[in-house]
Amino acid sequence: MGEAEKDGYAAVAATYARVTSRWSRPLAAALVSRASVSHGDHVLDVGTGTGLVAREAADHVGAEGRVVGVDISEAMLAEARSAVPAGPGVSFVRMPAESLDLPDREFDVALSLFAVTHFADPAAALREMHRVLTPGGRLVLGAGGRAPLLSVAGVTRRVGRVLSLVESGGRSLIAPGFLEGLLREEDAPLREAPHLGLRALVALVESAGFERILTSWCGHEGEVETAEEFWELQVTVSTPARAWRACSRIAIASRQTTSPTIGDSREVPQ
């Protein structure tokens, strides 16, 4: 991960914890359920961020189990630690996914939500997950993507979108695509969101040594209540928006330094 992205997370870690608790919890629960995390399991959450998935797993492993969340951003890990009671069961450790400082065959389950595409070397990270899993261990990855076009979920979602557009008079806004679209229209110097298509991801998982690979789609949708919440959601979870906001701040800060008369420059809205 580049320094810019790491700094981007540092600036939003507290908000990230709040926003993902509201929006990603059902997906964290789906990951844990698909991995059949159960009593006594040793679970690793890679790219744990503010620890949403690790906490969800901790609810299932009981006192004999163990959950370790790893991430490269200390700011995100600090948020993760602040949300769990201190104890032997759950720990959060700073280490890169590509070189896990963990013994071979240590974990029954490895989980990773919305993180693999952010790793500098996803293939190396997947090999590491394979190394630290026991033979027969389970890996469940969650990556963003639309429902397959020809699936029940795909058709239902697309019909739902059309109906909501009709109902709202054609003004249904969807985050974080809305802000990313605006930035593109304005020709903002955008850092693209990390992306790895489903086929490419499956190929990487396979070449890391995993067998019996299954894929499925699950979604979660909700309505934001206020314009502020809509804005916050986008500038927190969208990589291009986070990077754009960090650059805007630097630009404003340098203008203030070189020209004190622009003392009333406005901060980009939060």
Ligand X SMILES: C[S@@+](CC[C@H](N)C(=O)[O-])C[C@H]1O[C@@H](n2cnc3c(N)ncnc32)[C@H](O)[C@@H]1O
Contacts to ligand X by CB under 6 A: 1, 9, 20, 24, 47-50, 52-53, 71-73, 76, 96-98, 113-115, 118-120
Shortest distance in whole angstroms from residue 108 CB to ligand X: 19
Q: Which amino acid is at 138?
A: R
CA distance 132 to 97: 11
Shortest distance in whole angstroms from residue 77 CB to ligand X: 8
Q: Which residue is nearest to ligand X (CB)?
A: 49
Shortest distance in whole angstroms from residue 27 CB to ligand X: 8
Q: Which is nearer to ligand X, 30 or 183 (CB)?
A: 30
Q: Which is nearer to ligand X, 106 or 172 (CB)?
A: 106
Shortest distance in whole angstroms from residue 250 CB to ligand X: 20
Q: Which is nearer to ligand X, 4 or 251 (CB)?
A: 4
Shortest distance in whole angstroms from residue 25 CB to ligand X: 10
Shortest distance in whole angstroms from residue 227 CB to ligand X: 24
CA distance 73 to 50: 10
Q: Which is nearer to ligand X, 52 or 185 (CB)?
A: 52
Shortest distance in whole angstroms from residue 265 CB to ligand X: 30
Is residue 112 within 8 Å of 34, Cβ to Cβ? no
Q: Which is nearer to ligand X, 50 or 65 (CB)?
A: 50
Q: Which is nearer to ligand X, 41 or 239 (CB)?
A: 239
Q: Which is nearer to ligand X, 77 or 183 (CB)?
A: 77
